Structure 1
C-alpha cells in the first residue's frame, strides 16, 4: 500500500489523520443540519444529539491523533456517525 500513500506516511498515520479530519469536519455539517431541522420542524430532541455528540467526537479525534491511539480514533468516528441513526429514531417516535 505504500505506492498509494507514498513512503513517508504509514497506514496508522494516515488512518489517524483521516479520523481527525473527518470528526473535525463533521461538526459544521451537523450544525448546519441542526439549523435545517430547527427551521423546518421546530425544536426537537435531535437538537441535543447533533449539538453535543459531534464536538465531543472532534475532541476525541484530535486527542487520538496527538497520542497515537487507534482505538480512540475508532470511538471518535463512531461517535461522529452516531447522531444520524439517533436522529432518525427520535424523529420516528
Structure 2
C-alpha cells in the first residue's frame, strides 16, 4: 500500500514548520511590547514570551530529527499565544 506523501512533501512540511515557528518569535515579541505599552497588560509576558521560543526550538528539533508529530506540535504552540491572548481579552 502506498501513500500519496513523498519525502519531498515531508521535507517541505518540516521546513515550513521550522520557519513558521521561528518567525513567530519576533512577531510575538513586538506584539507583547505593543500590548504592554499600550494597555499595560501583564499576561502578555506569559503568553507571548514563553510559548514562541519553545515552539521555535521544537520546530528546529523536528526538522533536524525528522519528526512530523513534533513539527505539528511546534505549529500548534506557535498559534497558541494568539488564542490565549484572544481568550483573556474576551474574558476581561
1:35-86 CA distance string (max 9 Å, x none): 1001110032132110000000000000000000000000000000001011
Q: What is the aligned residue count?
A: 85
Alignment check: 8 A CA contact 1:46 1:90 kept:
no
Output the TM-score relative to the length of structure 1. Answer: 0.87
Backbone CA RMSD of aligned residues: 1.1
- Of residues 15, 25, 28 in structure 1, which corresponds to 2:26? 28
Structure 2: unaligned runs, 5 residues or longer: 1-6
2:9 matches 1:15: no
Give 3-state SS (helix, strand or coil) of 1:10's partner.
helix
**TM-score with structure 2 length normalisation?**
0.88
* Runs of 4+ deviating beyond 6 Å: none
